[in-house]
Amino acid sequence: MPRVLIVHYSRTGHTARLAEVLAAEIRLRGCDVDTEAIRVERDWNRWLLPLPLLPLLPLLPVYLTSARFRRVWHRIYHQQEQAIRPLAIPDVSAYDLVLLGTPKWLYLSFPVARWLTTAVGLEGRRVAPFATFCGPPLKVFEMEMLFEPLESRLRARGATVVDRMAVSSNYHPYFFFGEMERLFRFVSRMAFKRPLIDFTLDGAAGQAEVRRFCDVVCPRNRTDQACKK
């Protein structure tokens, strides 16, 4: 039976819920699933978290419009890390597949950035990252900004990235009166002609994305060999 490790970090519970849903779906497909929740040494005040992210904000228009700028930026930006507690599963080499979950903090979250430099045994592993963010799955602002830096770090550790997936949490911790959620709901209507809720775990598009992802990383009618390919 193929062995799957689902490891995730979640600050406010949304990525944790997605990790649970994925674990249930993957078990239904006949895989043996272990899980690890990354825990931080110390929670940072939420108003401190965005400080390392500020340098991109004045450059956002050029980031969004220039693929060349994005390629350069993803190589040079400072990826903040955050201290994490000792891992229950520090060596992932026993697994056929690793699913790595993070909330989007503009890029990957700081604790997941630390996990990527801490975990061993990633060389030659099949890895599929998954995420939650507030917005709809915008191609550049959400998907590329998160997954390109995350996947290049995985490849640098010798892993093979087999797929990626994200759903909206319809939740943002900033600012005071749900301003960011309202902005992303508006953007979802404009860009996708669909309400943001459709892209959450409770919405049709979010649920379809979970099934698609699980079908790719752990096909239903697979032989053990197919899942390990």
Ligand X SMILES: Cc1cc2nc3c(=O)[nH]c(=O)nc-3n(C[C@H](O)[C@H](O)[C@H](O)COP(=O)(O)O)c2cc1C
Q: Which of 73, 90, 88, 103 is nearest to 171 (CA)?
A: 103
Distance of closest approach, residue 96 Cβ to ligand X, in angstroms? 25
User: What is the chain's length?
Assistant: 229
Q: Which of 36, 191, 47, 53 is nearest to 115 (CA)?
A: 36
**Torsion angle in degrees (nearest 10) through CA of 138, 139, 142, 144:** 180
Residue whose tokens read 């379809």: 208
The encoded tokens of residue 38 equal: 């990354």
Q: Which is nearer to ligand X, 128 or 146 (CB)?
A: 146
Residue whose tokens read 């459709």: 198
Q: Which is nearer to ligand X, 29 or 147 (CB)?
A: 147
Distance of closest approach, residue 127 Cβ to ligand X, in angstroms? 19
Question: For 106, left (φ over 0), alpha (ψ -120 to 50), or beta?
Answer: left
The encoded tokens of residue 149 equal: 């830096």
Which amino acid is located at 12 in the chain?
A: T
Q: Which is nearer to ligand X, 13 or 90 (CB)?
A: 13
The encoded tokens of residue 15 equal: 């990525």
Q: Which is nearer to ligand X, 154 or 167 (CB)?
A: 167
Q: Which is nearer to ligand X, 36 or 96 (CB)?
A: 36
Q: Which is nearer to ligand X, 15 or 35 (CB)?
A: 15
Residue whose tokens read 């700081």: 110
Residues that bind ligand X (CB under 6 A): 10-16, 49-50, 103-106, 132-135, 142, 169, 171-173
